[in-house]
Structure 1
Amino acid sequence: MGNKQGSEFGGIMVRTEKTNYFAGDLVKGNIYLHIIKSGYHGNVVQFSIVGKEKTEWEVSTGKSSTTHRGKNVFYEDSFVINTFLNENLMVGQFVFPFELELPLDLPGSLYHSYGLLASVAYKIKVRIISNSKSINDIKNEQEIIIREPIQEILQASQKKVTANLTTWCCKQQGFCSITAKAEKNLYQSGELVNITYDIDNSNCKLNLEKVDASIMSRLIIQSNSGAQYRQEVKLNSVSQSGIQKGMKLLSSASTGCSLQLVNIKNPTIVLAPSTNGSLVNFQYYVIINPNFEGCTFCSSKPIVEVPITLFTLLPQEDQEPIAQPENWQPKAFQPFLIKSNSINPFNKNSLKKMANPMNS
């Protein structure tokens, strides 16, 4: 039943009520066990959950190239759902309900494969542990998607930057300050981001010719060796007129703009939510980039980055029902409340000590 890997003795399947969760949610589901043939040496029903990050990218230098890889198992736990008294598993049908409380600090799921690999993924695994070296475990797994919880208070996001400007690398031209503000700090894909900004160019000798406002995404990934790769993508942007030297520009409807939170080159793509892992970090921000007259390439500029968070509401799910075996009349056990523990999840001796034997 439901065991794609198959076994002559039967099958096992895990099915959660949903496939999408927020960190901190309670995951409810069932483990279905269908043993059709006697002689299987094993009586421990094990439940595991694993959260794993993976990264991979290639760097070319001349004729040679180097591939960087990262792997991090940041969340791993395992529990015995049931131990049958008979070490030779009996023929029968069984259902084991379970409830698992997810930690609050889990990074959100992500899969990015455009020219590189950056993934944060979660899997729930179930198996009947075989006590025979010649017989494999009966097992099954299911992937679940986890989103980071919306912990921020809905509020404006604001930042100010002041910079001294020079032309031709050394000629002092005074300083300019820019304060930029996004109307709020939490957004969904497709929403309008309303941006306003103040410019104080009163102590600067250079005209500010134009202001570029953009929404950017920033992906930062790392390898296990410490190498890092950064990818920034301009999602949407607009250019507006600047101001003269010695002037101030206060925020108003005329100095603001509205940019849709979409990839303007591929507007049908739903943007991935922000995530904050150890090897994989994916964030969004608004950037205000001023362009001054003259040669200011070697000069610092008051470039303002205002961070914003992109979140996703979990969908209303309607999973297809499980195709039940003929004459499916399982014995149902009491729900098993899974709580985190520090026992090595792959230590079979520890697993047996955890179990409360129950008659089949």
Structure 2
Amino acid sequence: MGNKHSTEFGGIFIQTSKAYYFPGEIIQGTISLNITKPGYPGRRLYISLTGKEILHGAFDINENSDDEGVLSTNTTTKIIKSEIVLYEFQQPTIPMGQFTTTFTFQLPSNIPGTYNKIHLSGAFERIIYKVKGYVVPTKGYKTMSHIQQIQVREPIYFPEQQIIGDGKVGDNGYCCRQKGSAQITAVTDRNVYRIGEAIRILIEVIDEERYQKPEKIIIQLENITQYKYKDNIETRLKIIAEEQISTTTKKLGSYKVLNQQEVVLFAQLKNHNNNDQYNMIQPSTNGDIIKSQYQIVIRASFGISCCNQSECLELPIQILSSTVLQQQSIQPPLGWNPIQLNDENLQLLASAKQSGTSLHSFSTYQKTLQGRNSYNEQQESQRSIRVGNSVRSIQSLNYQMN
């Protein structure tokens, strides 16, 4: 059904019920054959499911600094590889006619989400999944096949809720002496966003030491990508978006230098263009050789610092794909009236390699993830995740959630 998948003997087409799935979900689909010439020497109709993680080429891992750091590799890791005979014709060649059959299989529950980052250098990082239908002929004949890529979405770690972070952050001044510190409290409106959405953060800053107030507060959306290849592990940090706000001093017991101010970041690069594949950020994923996570980083700036060392508050978030892919509508050839082959349901329960350890920068978040079973047992009214080490009450600083 379509010239792209045809030989002189006819064509084959595979179509799944939709274009994106979650790990553990059941996939249903149809394979169709349109044989227009007798004599094609292939008896077996196959279906396969494959998934791979790929690092290919050379790309900069220190985009936000002057340090040189280039990762160059060609590494591929298998996630899934399954193949099964869907139907076998009784004669040595496929007869003329139109044929169709259905299939069903289940994705493993521990596979990472789809990821496709392309660099200007031509290098790329990918986590891809493909469903393939094909007939293998005897030597000398072209294989009749069709491949459909499917998108696997990383599961949502938690129900939608706020993230509350609070703690004391400081900056080192001249010759690395402590120049100042401030108590920062921040609340995000959610913990899960889609690419391109607004991330709303409510911030309060108090200078409890009363002698050196911060000049500005820096809020960044940061991507942390970890690469594992051969025996090496490299971590790449990239600032996706940044906002800065100046502080004003009001004496309220301590100096409250910022009183519940809202900051909005967008989950996309500033030079984002829908037609520019190099500027597209990718969703969070937790693969074996590619791990990509996001966090909100909040710093207090106290002026010029020779050490370039600064403590910060980190709020981990999850970013999902921006759009729901629509399955392409396939137009059958004229006079399409296929014969239904044996209706067999296939269960391709492929084994998948368990993902490795999480990024060290997300230790607080991972502890929360590990305890999500106990979290679910807590009362339903709890609507936030806490990070940070402050014991100060922050009940007054809160988003109204629907």
- Please, what TM-score do these two structures have when normalized by structure 1? 0.78
Conserved? CA contact 2:11–2:33, under 8 Å? yes
Aligned to 1:352: none
Identity of aligned residues (%): 24
User: Structure 1 residue 216: deviation in Å?
Assistant: 2.9
* Larger CA deviation: 244-253 vs 72-81: 244-253
Show the 5 A alignment for 1:25-174.
25-58=25-58, 67-115=72-120, 116-130=123-137, 132-162=138-168, 166-169=172-175, 171-172=177-178
User: Structure 1 residue 91: deviation in Å?
Assistant: 3.1
SS at match of 2:307: coil
Q: 1:244 to 1:291 in 2, by over 3 A?
A: farther
User: Structure 1 residue 285: deviation in Å?
Assistant: 1.9
* Larger CA deviation: 106-115 vs 324-333: 324-333
* Larger CA deviation: 328-337 vs 304-313: 328-337
Q: 1:289 to 1:243 in 2, by over 3 A?
A: farther
Aligned to 1:257: 263
* Larger CA deviation: 204-213 vs 162-171: 162-171
2-structure distance, mates of 1:258, 1:22 = 29
* Structure 1 residues 307-360: Cα deviation after superposition (integer angstroms, max 9, x where no partner): 111224763736333232546433343152323156xxxxxxxxxxxxxxxxxx
- Structure with the higher fraction of residues in strand conformation: 1
User: Structure 1 residue 22: deviation in Å?
Assistant: 2.9
Aligned to 1:311: 320
User: Structure 1 residue 264: deviation in Å?
Assistant: 2.8
Aligned to 1:321: 330
User: Structure 1 residue 88: deviation in Å?
Assistant: 3.6
User: Structure 1 residue 124: deviation in Å?
Assistant: 0.9
Q: 1:340 to 1:242 in 2, by over 3 A?
A: farther
1-structure distance, mates of 2:248, 2:257 = 12
2-structure distance, mates of 1:192, 1:8 = 52
User: Structure 1 residue 33: deviation in Å?
Assistant: 1.6
Q: 1:323 to 1:153 in 2, by over 3 A?
A: same
Conserved? CA contact 1:210–1:242, under 8 Å? no
Equivalent in 187, 204, 211 of residue 181 of structure 1? 187
SS at match of 2:52: strand
User: Structure 1 residue 192: deviation in Å?
Assistant: 2.6
Aligned to 1:11: 11
- 1:287 paired to 2:301: no
User: Structure 1 residue 296: deviation in Å?
Assistant: 3.3
1-structure distance, mates of 2:213, 2:258 = 18
Q: 1:107 to 1:218 in 2, by over 3 A?
A: same
- 1:211 paired to 2:220: no
1-structure distance, mates of 2:152, 2:288 = 16
Q: 1:126 to 1:3 in 2, by over 3 A?
A: farther
Aligned to 1:278: 288
2-structure distance, mates of 1:279, 1:292 = 38
* Structure 1 residues 6-29: Cα deviation after superposition (integer angstroms, max 9, x where no partner): 433332211122223333333221
CA RMSD of aligned residues (A): 3.3
Q: 1:341 to 1:304 in 2, by over 3 A?
A: closer
User: Structure 1 residue 290: deviation in Å?
Assistant: 1.0
Conserved? CA contact 1:217–1:232, under 8 Å? yes
1-structure distance, mates of 2:248, 2:314 = 18
Q: 1:183 to 1:110 in 2, by over 3 A?
A: same
1-structure distance, mates of 2:94, 2:197 = 55
Conserved? CA contact 1:157–1:306, under 8 Å? yes
The number of residue pairs the alignment matches comes to 335
1-structure distance, mates of 2:350, 2:295 = 38
1-structure distance, mates of 2:327, 2:170 = 58
User: Structure 1 residue 187: deviation in Å?
Assistant: 1.4
* Structure 1 residues 79-99: Cα deviation after superposition (integer angstroms, max 9, x where no partner): 221223334433332101112
- 1:2 paired to 2:2: yes
Show the 5 A alignment for 1:189-200.
189-200=195-206
Point out the structure with max Rg over C-alpha. 1
- 1:20 paired to 2:45: no
* Structure 1 residues 137-170: Cα deviation after superposition (integer angstroms, max 9, x where no partner): 3222111222222241211123344456543335
User: Structure 1 residue 189: deviation in Å?
Assistant: 3.1
Conserved? CA contact 1:236–1:262, under 8 Å? no
User: Structure 1 residue 306: deviation in Å?
Assistant: 1.1
2-structure distance, mates of 1:286, 1:150 = 18
- Please, what TM-score do these two structures have when normalized by structure 2? 0.71
Question: Any stretches of 5+ residues in structure 1 without a counterpart?
Answer: 343-360
Question: Any stretches of 5+ residues in structure 2 without a counterpart?
Answer: 61-69, 352-402
Aligned AA (2:82):
D
Aligned AA (1:45):
L
2-structure distance, mates of 1:312, 1:304 = 26
